[in-house]
Amino acid sequence: MFNANKDFLGKRRDRAIATILSFKEKECDTYLPQDVSYELRKIILDQINDVVDLAYDLINDDIVINEAFLQRLDEILNM
């Protein structure tokens, strides 16, 4: 079951990345300096991959979620 879910998430990750990066290249890159375009690409890839890695861990029951900690972290990030 885990492998099927992992494969599904991997495919969805790849499609999401392809869609977002395609839009960035078509609509944004002409307005961005090359170094900014590269950094934006890197941030998109890093963040989406981080979320998918977290999902893999959740599916595999490798982590325990501390809701109070996450809520506090969200509050700090929003400040």
Q: In the prediction, which pLDDT does 4 show?
A: 79
SS3 content of the chain, % helix, strand, coil (to 5): 85, 0, 15
User: pLDDT tens string for the chain (79 positions)?
Assistant: 557 778 888 999 999 999 999 999 999 999 999 999 999 999 999 999 999 988 888 877 766 667 787 788 788 888 8
**pLDDT 10s digits, 8-28:** 889 999 999 999 999 999 999
Q: In the prediction, which pLDDT does 18 show?
A: 96
Coil/strand/helix, residue 65: coil
Q: In the prediction, which pLDDT does 78 show?
A: 87
The first and second tokens of residue 65, run together, are 């979620």
Phi-psi region of 61 (alpha: psi -120 to 50; beta: other; left: phi over 0): left
